[in-house]
Structure 1
Amino acid sequence: MIKIAASLHSGPKINLEKILNEFSHADIDFLHIDVMDGHFVPEIDFGEGIVKEISSFSDIPLDIHMMVENPELLINNYSLPTTEVIGIHVEATPHIHRALTTIKSLHKKAEVIINPDTPVSTIIPVLNIVDQVLVMSVDPGTSGAKFIDSTLERVNLLNELRQKNNYNYLIEADGSIDDRNIKGLIDTGLDVAVSGSFIFKDNVEKQILKLKNI
């Protein structure tokens, strides 16, 4: 069954405690945390202080998505007790191998992330060491934007590379995923779906079940 990561960036921040309590009763697999620095993406969100509070408040595993320049400088700050995955963009650092190795040295799952216009070939050199690959299905930092259909081809290619080379990484997609496009992603090999706007537009427990039941 597909795993669902709820993107907190899309939810109402002023009611964060209420939202976290709702997720504790829902069949959610991860809390997806978009760390934004205002440089790599236009917005600023989820500094280390609030993420530490979330980690202390909830035991739901954290899926950290670092949309920041020079992410290797911040990796240690987000290696928290409930952090399971730390993802970094291949576009954000010239030292992608070193940064991924640092994540693994902290006993966290290392994820490499690619933007919609970044060729999959760019990350082939690190596919043998990563635990997860995140394919952006919208441009980063554009919550609610239209889902980019070519994501299906990219997920399928990563699935083929995984099978051909006996790699063990999971494939995740992030951006405008809902009950209309998730089945196509699952059919092409997706393991983890990040959803935000769809989950928060109604009762979160009901919306998550909609996705899981497809």
Structure 2
Amino acid sequence: MCQIAVSLHSGPKLNLDKTLKSLASARADFLHIDVMDGHFVPEIDFGQKLVQEISQNCQISLDIHMMVEKPETLIEQYIFPTTEIIGIHVESTPHIHRILTLIKKLGQKCEVIINPGTPVSAIIPVLRLVDQVMVMSVDPGTSGANFIDSTIEKVKLLDELRRQNNYHYQIKADGSIDDHNIVKLTKAGLDIAVVGSFIFKDNLAGQIAKLKSK
């Protein structure tokens, strides 16, 4: 059974407090926070102050997804009492090892992220370091796009590398995941699914329960 990280970017921003309470009752495992700078991706979302207020008003662990250029300049701004993991795109920096090491030094779990067009081979040098690996199953910043089937093969390869090398990272996927493709992803080795649109289109508790039953 996959854990579920709920992408708040896909949900309503008005009455966010009500949404957070509903997600806590629904037993969401993580709140997935898409920090967007308008450069690495077209949109801008989840500034530091908003995420701070979320942390102060909800005890669900924060999963910080840095969809930004120069992520090293923002990392410390997003470390709150409920922050559990900070993820960095390998495509966003030439210094991925240094930034992941910094995250660990700051007492956080670190995650490396790859876009649909980036092969798993690009992150092999840091796999022994990371706590999580996230595979984008849509292009970043394209919420609602079609799920990219090659994601499943990447998850399968990451699971094979984990077993072969005794690595301990969790495998996560993000983008257009629903109650159908999550079955194939879980079978391939997925541990955590980042889900937004599917959860917010109906009763939150029912949608999360549906995903966890797969």
Residues 96-115 of structure 1: pairs in structure 2 closer than 5 A: 96-115=96-115
Aligned ranges 1:45-194 → 2 under 5 Å: 45-194=45-194
Q: Please report how far the alpha carbon of residue 116 of structure 1 lies from its aligned counterpart in structure 2 after TM superposition.
A: 0.2
Paired with 2:98 and 2:92, the residues of 1 have a C-alpha distance of: 13
What is the TM-score with the length of structure 2 in the denominator? 0.99
Instruction: Provide the secondary structure at the position in 2 that maps to 1:159.
Output: helix
- Report the aligned-residue RMSD: 0.5
Taking the aligned partners of 1:111 and 1:145, their CA distance within structure 2 comes to 23
In structure 1, how many angstroms separate the alpha carbons of the residues matched to 2:3 and 2:174?
12
Shift of 1:27: 1.8
Paired with 1:134 and 1:152, the residues of 2 have a C-alpha distance of: 12
Secondary structure class of the residue paired with 2:15? helix
Alpha-carbon shift at residue 74 of structure 1 (Å)? 0.5
Residue 106 of structure 1 and its aligned partner are, at CA, apart by: 1.3
* Distance of 1:52 and 1:5 partners within structure 2: 18
SS in 2 for 1:63: strand
After superposition, where does 1:25-36 map in structure 2 within 5 Å? Answer: 25-36=25-36
Distance in 1 separating the partners of 2:195 and 2:63: 12
Runs of at least 5 residues in structure 1 that lack an aligned partner in the other structure = none
**Structure 2 counterpart of 1:203:** 203
Cα distance in structure 1, aligned partners of 2:16 and 2:174: 21
Query: Structure 2: which 5+ residue stretches go unaligned?
Result: none
Cross-structure match for 1:212: 212
Aligned structure 1 segments of 4 or more residues deviating by more than 6 angstroms: none
- TM-score, scaled to structure 1: 0.99
Q: What's the secondary structure of 2:41's corresponding residue? A: coil
AA partner of residue 68 (structure 1) = V
